[in-house]
């Protein structure tokens, strides 16, 4: 399947993100020799690209799932929970009860 993003060649997003975070931590520590730093940087770039590719695939899938019958998509913004509406707006839906 063209949109299948699971499998042995595609580690899960969280594991890849953790690996990237560890690579960044090692680089930021500044204790690696130059050649190891370069190798870690190259690995980090590859991980970022893999994560970006995965996010693009997820976005494509979301677009497919939210596409209307006429082929159009519409963006629906999420409302932040606990956020109050504009003062004096009179909109009861914006009111937060503490």
How does pLDDT run across 64-89, given as a tens digit for each residue? 888 877 877 776 776 776 655 555 54
Domain count, the chain: 1
64 lies in which domain range?
A: 13-71
| Angstrom distance (rounded) from CA 3 to CA 54 | 11
Q: Is the pTM of this model over 0.85?
A: no
How does pLDDT run across 45-59, given as a tens digit for each residue? 999 999 999 999 999
Each residue of 51-90: b (16+ CB within 10 Å) or e? Answer: eeebeeeeeeeeeeeeeeeeeeeeeeeeeeeeeeeeeeee
Q: Tell me, yes or no, whether 88 lies in a domain.
A: no
Q: Tell me, yes or no, whether 35 lies in a domain.
A: yes
Tokens of 75: 């963006």
């Amino acid at each position: 399947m063209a949109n299948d993003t699971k499998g042995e060649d595609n580690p899960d997003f969280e594991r890849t993100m953790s690996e990237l975070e560890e690579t960044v931590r090692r680089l930021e520590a500044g204790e690696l020799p130059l050649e190891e730093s370069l190798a870690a940087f190259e690995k980090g770039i590859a991980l970022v690209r893999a994560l970006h590719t995965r996010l693009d695939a997820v976005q494509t899938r979301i677009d497919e799932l939210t596409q209307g019958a006429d082929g159009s998509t519409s963006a629906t913004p999420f409302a932040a929970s606990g956020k109050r509406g504009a003062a004096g707006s009179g909109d009861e839906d914006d009111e937060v009860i503490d």
